[in-house]
Structure 1
């Protein structure tokens, strides 16, 4: 019996199947599932394998660390192309830029809270009073206060005195606060009981961009709490990032504890752009209280940690009426919560953020608007202005798009180091893979996200 007209086709049940076909010359065939990979992606993977095999064929004694998997084009993309974030930043201090806002619009509202309404001129005078009282008190000032308008004036006043502030959380045990004060070398601690009289004249203190603005202690979740030393230049670059538009930070809800880096965004970004701080009362707030603040003061921007964002977006989305942008981060952000909020308020933008304290609050971000594809697992985003994000392997080499590695960060937002711990600063730094002339940052810190990979929409976690 003869069987004719028979045809066959292979089908890959796994995402990728590499077949080695023996012949006079060994050949390779890569089968792939078209629902997971397109032809171009499969060809790229096979090309990388061939590149590695050719290297070992040419040099059998080559070490793995010396074998380059990426093509020159891929390396330029992940090292330079996706990190082309350079943007001019003023060589100025927070104080200088704030005082420029005072000169431009002294009667514009700077702070509101309860029955308190302070203009830029009034906030400036109150901060001047703090600065004059702290003159000669030392370079590091502890601030142990509840959230309030007075807290804002004290933080600004410390900077005007030429010092840096060390936030002290009033809810923390006295032993922890004493440890922070001792390690940081705090000279004086300002509390809510201290009273300062307004002074019209600005202090004649020259403050440079490279001077310290604050030393913020980490939570210690990965070990012993560490004091991250952040400069004026770090904060200025962060606050003037093009991701934050003036109309979005026109009226910002201040609800973060000043001992957490989200307060850097909530306080300094509006104050350097002529915006208004809506300071929430001290203590915990429920959804109704937040909604009343948002509606009553026409809040345009709200930042909430990932957990709080999920609860508010899914259970009380109506409170965000009138808000132009909600940003969130600090943990895994719920895709369902983002989609729910965008359905309720299609004119709103939800921006997810990521960044360790060592990178001045946020280092990456990505916005989502109504109509956008919101993936089930949200990416942590693309680098902010003047920030470079590298996904590296264990040999500190860039990995290819889609390949999981460790996230390293560099750029203007990179903190000076760990206060009073020079050895830890050195041990936590690494050379970047960039060879650009004029590269500002030559060290990076492992960014705290366990494993990440590049995708077409930026870096994404592999958790």
Structure 2
């Protein structure tokens, strides 16, 4: 799919650059999580304030919630709205939806109620799952609302899976773009898309074993914050507050011994200037979403000699990240900032208006291809055909 304008400033062997093929499992997310839970049932999976859930507990709780959803009439392929504060209950509900064969639609309570109502209608959601009290979901209209609390995270006994067959190409979630240029677009990301992100060989370093999870749940970086640790036996350190300031993030990094985190470029810049010591506690930082400040980057590289910093690029349509530029501990100078290399099973090209590769130094449009690409825009076939261009 085409992205921002780009120029190939240096001669690159395109085939070598895009040689990213890696064999990854063709399984749904929840099956991979259950397999991980079987390997490390006692290991901590989620930490939120004083509440901690092990892999075994999370697997059992989400199995029980999936059975509850099926009993309520949820069927494979159904979409369910999720309106929660960050919490362990949200993750139980998210996994439960997937185990019931459905797809979740994360909603942001900070958005206008009219927009939330529109999203529920646009997705054809069959239920709204929420931790809000009655009166806090009037925007749902006649849509059935299931209110859940801490009880869904407490289950006695062994996991009892439903055993539903879910294909890797089935939708896992629908996440909406900002809509700043018109009607919000619901991006349909599949189980395969998220597996490609979460099991990318890059994370095998072990530096993402305790990931700080503070992004709004309707923001695509939350996909990284939850699924990368959960599919590898790591811990998602969830910050529960609706609004979190810079000082609270810095304190959480130290208090919970986080090893990795993602920051938007704006937040990275602020952290670099006001809380750089806390960044030095992290083993790896990912940052992206806008133009990265070279000054901020150089300050972090100088003050955090043992921290790997990764400059990432990727839209929601490419499942959070599709390329990355790495500044490892042995790389403390910045020669130039660029989009880096593609992630596993991903390819990137700079093409002209006739979809031909441009010459080095010539301007063109950046196209992204591969398994990170979403299934398209929900209910917008014409726009999907326009933006998700057939690969020549």
Q: Name which structure has the greater RCO, CA cutoff 8 Å, separation 6+.
A: 2
Q: Counterpart of 1:229 in 2: which secondary structure?
A: strand
Give, in whole Å, the separation in 2 of the partners of 1:185 and 1:98: 27
Q: Counterpart of 2:202 in 1: which secondary structure?
A: coil
Kept after mapping to 2: 8 A contact 1:335/1:374: no
Map 1:298-337 to 2 at 5 A. Answer: 298-337=257-296
Gap runs ≥5 in structure 2? 1-7, 133-146
Q: Counterpart of 1:430 in 2: which secondary structure?
A: coil
Give, in whole Å, the separation in 1 of the partners of 2:211 and 2:104: 22
Which of 129, 149, 153 aligns to 2:64? It is 129
Cα offsets for 1:345-373 (capped at 9, x unmatched): 10101101111111111111111134526
TM score, norm. by length of structure 1: 0.75
Q: CA deviation at 1:401?
A: 2.6
Name the residue aligned to 1:99.
Answer: 34
Q: CA deviation at 1:236?
A: 0.3
Q: What's the RMSD between the two structures over aligned residues?
A: 1.8
Q: Counterpart of 1:89 in 2: which secondary structure?
A: coil
Which of 347, 351, 364 aligns to 2:323? It is 364
Q: Counterpart of 1:244 in 2: which secondary structure?
A: helix
Distance 1:332 1:221, change over 3 A: same
Give, in whole Å, the separation in 2 of the partners of 1:131 and 1:362: 29
Q: CA deviation at 1:154?
A: 1.1
Structure 1 residue 173 corresponds to structure 2 residue 112: yes
Cα offsets for 1:244-301 (capped at 9, x unmatched): 2351111000011111110110000100000001001222222332222212221100
Which structure has the bigger radius of gyration?
1
Name the residue aligned to 2:249.
Answer: 290
Cα offsets for 1:198-230 (capped at 9, x unmatched): 373122211111111001010112322100001
Give, in whole Å, the separation in 1 of the partners of 2:389 and 2:378: 18
Q: Counterpart of 2:311 in 1: which secondary structure?
A: strand
Give, in whole Å, the separation in 1 of the partners of 2:291 and 2:85: 28
Structure 1 residue 235 corresponds to structure 2 residue 194: yes
Name the residue aligned to 1:61.
Answer: none
Gap runs ≥5 in structure 1? 1-69, 434-463
Name the residue aligned to 1:210.
Answer: 169
Name the residue aligned to 2:385.
Answer: 426
Q: Counterpart of 1:256 in 2: which secondary structure?
A: coil
Name the residue aligned to 1:47.
Answer: none
Name the residue aligned to 2:51.
Answer: 116
Which stretch shows the higher mean deviation, 168-177 or 336-345? Answer: 336-345
